[in-house]
């Protein structure tokens, strides 16, 4: 159906030429002359090119691009389009109803992997405008919402290169999409052009890697589309079983000039530093990355649920200093506190219990008996399979977040408890991750990546969630955003001033996001962004160098403020 729709709509692409013809403008610092002048809210902008603009590529240009990328160019249809008679898109109308496909998408709407395999969809749908959901009445209206219009399902690095070059030549908004596991809408964009990299699935293990950073040992190279569960499964099948934690040695990355480059500690070292924590879709398109691997270890885990709890100031620090990882949910998730799981890698059940004993003592002191499940596993991978809960797609909410520093726990414990109460009483809930990002890493290596230096002293990372419908009235959306920024997350900032924000799970509209995400690393990241993407080819909200970029006209056009 999609190939047919592409053929059907190519004529519409051609008809769009000259619909809103305007003189091109020159924007300081950017080479392209294909800008569209716009005014919004009293401000003047130079915008990227969208369907209907004078600069939108013509039929021949799209056909040539499709041939260059091996026929992998598609006109995008929202996932729920098969449930509607007609999709009314910016390139024209298309007849889309298909009962079997509608049944499939309806049954799988909340299935994360189903959504991941789509050309362009967000697993959380708030920032799609919650448009074109699966419906029982095909006569209802299906529109684009904030979805893109065209997708390259890239199968080779050359397809990505061609897509980047085409976007730069025609000044199109470019979105890089892999799995769509993205709370902030970065894999979406109204009228944009997407390059999907999920097909890059190669995995290669080695026991004798010599890296530019001086590392010698086992490693794995993974394609951009490889998901953690898959590489962990393959690593577990090795003899002895291996486990992967974090990036170490090298990237293959295509930069804004369309060149495929290696980035490691010696080659393009500034780019390598920025790619490790400097923000998504900001410096290039990663094709593959290399990671250290480690021998897997016997591990123990605990899961429990309780209605209320309190702990001493020392308990949280005690957990992370003993190398534990704790995933928990607090608020409106069916339990007041849902901890699934508490992980002790390399620990026996007795050793894990010994670390948890201060918490158990606190619970006994206030008369609480939790529901506890304890298990021992031969490897961490077995624990991961048994105890980590699957994620779901299809939710509509705003997400924010903050982290709590070690010093905050020691000095501001009462204020942190009060902040948690503020979050829950506001109708929000939290997903927490207790661990230490600096644990076991020599302090001399803390600045080897672009991650906010404050992150190394974090002992708890929180995601905050404010439910709101994606198709809610604009006033309701503004109210929900204000609650997230000024009530929910503000309570956490004030209680934990030594914390910071994690770029993929936070509120991109919080004040001073540059410092919140990157601290004193931001000036260097800004210079690197200007070096590697001087013409603004890449964009993701609240990433280095995007201060003068806005989504204008009710979150649609991406524009540079003049």
How far is the C-alpha of 405 from the C-alpha of 443, rounded, in Å? 16
Q: 314 pLDDT exceeds 90?
A: no
pLDDT of residue 300: 97
- The structural domains of the chain, with segments of one domain joined by +, span 2-198+551-561, 203-295, 299-520
pLDDT of residue 121: 86
How far is the C-alpha of 7 from the C-alpha of 213, rounded, in Å? 50
CB neighbour class for 383 (10 Å; exposed up to 12, middle 13-18, buried from 19) = buried
Q: Is 151 helix (H, G, I), strand (E, B) or coil?
A: strand
Report the CATH number of the 2-198+551-561 domain: 3.30.43.10
CA neighbor of 546 nearest in space, from 190, 537, 510:
537
* pLDDT tens column, 124-163: 889 998 889 998 899 998 999 999 999 999 999 999 999 9
Q: Mean pLDDT throughout 389-403?
A: 91
Question: Per-residue DSSP letters for 183-225?
Answer: TTSTT--TT-EEEE-TT---EEEEEEEE-TTS-EEEEEEEETT
* pLDDT tens column, 15-56: 333 334 344 556 656 666 789 999 988 899 999 999 999 999
Can you give the pTM of this predicted structure? 0.92
Return the structure tokens found at 56.
């939108």
Distant-in-sequence, close-in-space partners of 473: CB < 8 Å, separation ≥ 6: none
HEC assignment per residue over 68-116: HCCCCEEECCCCCHHHCCEEEECCEEEECCCHHHHHHHHHCCCEHHHHH
Q: Pairing relation of β-strands 193-196 and 174-177?
A: parallel
**Yes or no: is domain 203-295 CATH 3.40.50.10800?**
no
Q: 308 pLDDT exceeds 60?
A: no
Q: 456 pLDDT exceeds 70?
A: yes
* pLDDT tens column, 424-437: 999 899 999 999 98
Q: Mean pLDDT throughout 6-12?
A: 35
Between these two residues, 347 and 316, which has the higher pLDDT value? Answer: 347
Return the structure tokens found at 540.
């993701």
* pLDDT tens column, 344-353: 999 999 999 9
How far is the C-alpha of 561 from the C-alpha of 39, rounded, in Å? 10
- Cis? peptide before 131, omega within 30° of 0: no
Q: Mean pLDDT throughout 321-349?
A: 86
Q: 313 pLDDT exceeds 70?
A: no
* pLDDT tens column, 197-217: 999 999 999 999 888 888 899
Percent share of the chain, pLDDT over 70: 91
Q: 550 pLDDT exceeds 80?
A: yes
Percent share of the chain, pLDDT over 90: 73
**β-sheet bridge partners, residue 292:** 219
Q: 332 pLDDT exceeds 70?
A: no
How far is the C-alpha of 57 from the C-alpha of 71, rounded, in Å? 17
* pLDDT tens column, 66-116: 999 999 999 999 999 999 999 999 999 999 999 999 999 999 999 999 999
Q: 339 pLDDT exceeds 50?
A: yes
Please give the CATH architecture assigned to the domain spanning 299-520: 3-Layer(aba) Sandwich (3.40)
The upper half-sphere exposure of residue 159, i.e. CA atoms within 13 Å in the direction of its Cβ, equals: 22
Q: Name the average pLDDT for the chain.
A: 89
Q: Mean pLDDT throughout 471-489?
A: 96
Q: Pairing relation of β-strands 86-89 and 242-254?
A: unpaired
Q: Is 60 helix (H, G, I), strand (E, B) or coil?
A: helix
């Amino acid at each position: 159906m999609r190939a047919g729709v592409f053929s059907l709509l190519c004529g519409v692409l051609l008809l769009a030429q000259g619909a809103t013809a305007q003189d091109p403008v020159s924007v300081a610092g950017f080479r392209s002359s294909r800008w569209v002048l716009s005014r919004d809210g009293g401000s003047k902008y130079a915008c990227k090119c969208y369907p209907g603009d004078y600069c939108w590529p013509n039929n021949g240009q799209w056909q040539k691009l499709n041939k260059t990328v091996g026929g992998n160019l598609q006109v995008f249809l929202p996932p729920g389009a098969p449930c509607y008679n007609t999709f009314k898109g910016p390139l024209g109308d298309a007849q889309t109803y298909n009962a079997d496909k509608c049944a499939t998408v309806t049954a799988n709407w909340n299935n994360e992997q189903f959504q991941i395999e789509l050309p362009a969809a967000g697993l959380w749908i708030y920032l799609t405008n919650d448009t074109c959901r699966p419906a029982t009445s095909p006569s209802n209206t299906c529109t684009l919402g904030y979805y893109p219009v065209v997708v390259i399902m890239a199968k080779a690095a050359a397809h990505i290169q061609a897509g980047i070059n085409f976007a730069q030549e025609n000044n199109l908004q470019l979105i890089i999409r892999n799995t769509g596991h993205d709370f902030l809408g970065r894999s979406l964009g109204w009228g944009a052009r997407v390059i999907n990299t999920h097909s890059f699935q190669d995995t290669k293990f080695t026991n004798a890697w010599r890296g530019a950073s001086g590392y010698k040992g086992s490693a794995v190279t993974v394609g951009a589309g490889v998901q953690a569960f898959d590489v962990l499964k393959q690593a577990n099948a090795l003899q002895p079983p291996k486990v992967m934690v974090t990036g170490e040695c090298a990237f293959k990355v295509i930069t804004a000039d369309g060149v495929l480059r290696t980035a490691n500690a010696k080659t393009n070292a500034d780019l390598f530093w920025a790619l490790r924590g400097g923000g998504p879709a900001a410096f290039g398109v990663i094709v593959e990355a290399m990671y250290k691997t480690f021998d897997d270890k016997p591990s123990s885990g605990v899961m429990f649920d309780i209605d209320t709890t309190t702990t001493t100031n020392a308990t949280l620090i005690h957990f992370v200093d003993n190398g534990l990882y704790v995933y928990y949910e607090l608020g409106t998730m069916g339990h007041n506190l849902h901890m699934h799981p508490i992980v002790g890698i390399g620990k026996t059940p007795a050793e894990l219990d010994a670390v948890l004993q201060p918490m158990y003592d606190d619970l006994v002191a206030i008369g609480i008996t939790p529901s506890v499940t304890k298990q021992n596993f031969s490897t961490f991978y077995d624990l991961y399979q048994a105890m980590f809960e699957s994620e779901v797609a299809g939710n509509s909410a705003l997400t924010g977040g903050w982290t709590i520093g070690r010093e905050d726990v020691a000095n501001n414990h009462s204020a942190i408890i009060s902040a948690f109460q503020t979050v829950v009483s506001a109708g929000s809930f939290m997903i927490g991750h207790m661990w230490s990002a600096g644990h076991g890493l020599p302090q001399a290596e803390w600045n080897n990546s672009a991650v906010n230096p404050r992150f190394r002293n974090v002992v708890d990372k929180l995601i905050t969630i404010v439910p709101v419908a994606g198709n809610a009235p604009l006033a309701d959306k503004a109210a929900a955003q204000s609650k997230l920024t000024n009530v929910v997350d503000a309570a956490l900032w004030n209680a934990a001033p030594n914390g910071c924000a994690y770029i993929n799970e936070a509120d991109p509209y919080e004040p001073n996001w540059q410092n919140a995400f990157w601290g004193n690393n931001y000036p260097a990241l800004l210079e690197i962004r200007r070096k590697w993407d001087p013409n603004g080819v890449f964009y993701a909200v609240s990433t280095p160098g995007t201060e003068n970029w806005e989504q204008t006209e009710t979150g649609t056009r991406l524009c540079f403020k003049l």
